[in-house]
Amino acid sequence: MIFRTASQLIWDLAMMGMGGFALWRGGKPEKLLAIGLILGSLATAVVENRQDWLYPQWGILLVDFGYLALAVWIGMRSDRVWPLFTAGFQLVAVITHGAMMADRGVGGWAYITAGVIWSYMILLSIVVGTWLQWLRPRRLVPSHFQT
């Protein structure tokens, strides 16, 4: 069994709630970004080096780049504005990795804290986007989002 801290369990519950809400009430962009975030979170748990947070986490950086590419792609193709916030938050998360590489003075605590903050901001943006989609009046013509 994998040991989970209280903060990790809170994240897991928040992700399940966000994912369920997005799958229940969201459109295609909301569902894709929610599923991407869940898969990214699982991939991060697999590739993270728990023993050494004093150095850049290269596996997590790769996962973060993948999610950034997804968020930018959806943001550019969607008729919604909120995915651009998701992409922006993810970009800052990727830049945090760059800060760690550029300055070894950025300690593990700052690195982890920034990752947590941007992850919750991404989660919040998906929840808000799903809520806005749910409130959106139903159209007779389909969305411009074609995949």
Q: What is the pLDDT of residues 66-112, one digit of tens each?
A: 999 999 999 999 999 999 999 999 999 999 888 888 887 777 788 78
Q: Tell me the whole-structure pTM to 2 decimals.
A: 0.85
Greater model confidence, 115 or 36: 36
Q: 3-state class of 9 per DSSP?
A: helix
Any alpha helices (H) in the chain, and if so which ranges?
6-25, 28-47, 58-77, 82-102, 108-135
* Model confidence band, residue 1 (pLDDT cutoffs 50, 70, 90): very low
Amino acid 138: pLDDT: 66
Asked if 127 and 135 touch (Cβ cutoff 8 Å), the reply is no
Asked if 89 and 128 touch (Cβ cutoff 8 Å), the reply is no
Q: How many CA atoms lie within 13 A of 123 on its CB side?
A: 21
Q: What is the mean pLDDT of the chain?
A: 87
Amino acid 127: pLDDT: 96
Two tokens, residue 115: 């990752």
Instruction: Give the number of other Cβ atoms within 10 Å of residue 115's Cβ.
Output: 19
Distance CA 133, CA 29 (A): 10
Greater model confidence, 100 or 145: 100
